[in-house]
């Protein structure tokens, strides 16, 4: 299986990256190919809502999303990886998700597998509620097949994350595919 991880953290060496590395290691050990895309490093403009794409493409904007869209469509699984910013995904990852509209029918027609990797400083029992609701909506709307999630509460720094059980959980999720 070809797995594409959309890493949405602007901190390339942070807690999100730690979970992504462990997930990828587990998935590779299980025999899958894994490509990690640092979406924060890409030049992807927000969707303008012009609907020139007709929700099927191509997008009227020409930026790094053109290549990313093809990577998404060539994949069997999408992994959304993000730190929690005000109880949602980062703006960098959200910009990518918003641009999915130019490929909605092609994405939903593939019935891609998906997973969610997220970290947050906060560890209240409601910390990830809004992010999970958004992810569950994406799964339903895009006809994705959720394979699991790792929600690392109390992971405010890479050191905190490394000392938690969440890297092992991410590796186990990758291995289980």
The domain in which residue 84 lies consists of 2-175
Rounded mean pLDDT of 133-141? Answer: 98
Q: Which tens digit of pLDDT belongs to each residue from 27-69? A: 999 999 999 999 999 999 999 999 998 888 788 999 999 999 9
Report the pLDDT value the prediction gives residue 54, as an integer from 0 to 100: 86
- Per the structure, the count of domains in the chain is 1
Residue 75: alpha-carbon gap to chain centroid: 13
Q: Which tens digit of pLDDT belongs to each residue from 92-102? A: 999 999 999 99
Comparing C-alpha atoms, which of 134, 145, 104 is closest to residue 1?
Answer: 145
Residue 12 or residue 174, greater confidence: 174
Q: Where residue 157 sits, what CATH number does that domain have?
A: 3.40.50.360
- Kindly give the interhelix angle for 91-99 and 65-73, rounded to the nearest 10 degrees: 70
What is the full DSSP assignment across 82-119? EE-BTTB--HHHHHHHHHGGGGHHHHHHHT-EEEEEEE
Q: Which residues of 43-72 are buried (b: 16+ CB within 10 A; e: fewer)?
A: ebeebeeeeebeeebebebeebbeebbeeb
């Amino acid at each position: 299986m070809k797995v594409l991880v959309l890493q949405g953290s602007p901190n390339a060496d942070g807690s999100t990256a730690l979970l992504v590395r462990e997930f990828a290691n587990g998935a590779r050990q299980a025999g899958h190919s894994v490509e990690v895309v640092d979406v924060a490093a890409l030049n992807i403009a927000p969707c303008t809502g012009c609907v020139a794409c007709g929700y099927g493409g191509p997008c009227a904007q020409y930026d790094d999303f053109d290549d990313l869209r093809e990577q998404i469509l060539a994949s069997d699984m999408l992994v959304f990886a993000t730190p929690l910013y005000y109880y949602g995904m980062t703006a960098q990852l959200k910009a990518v998700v918003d641009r999915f509209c130019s490929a909605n029918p092609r994405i939903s027609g593939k019935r891609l597998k998906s997973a969610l990797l997220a970290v947050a400083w906060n560890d209240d029992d409601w910390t990830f509620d809004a992010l999970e609701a958004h992810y569950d909506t994406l799964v339903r709307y895009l006809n994705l097949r959720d394979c699991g999630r790792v929600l690392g509460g109390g992971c405010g720094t890479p050191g905190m994350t490394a000392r938690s059980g969440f890297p092992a959980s991410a590796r186990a999720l990758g291995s289980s595919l």
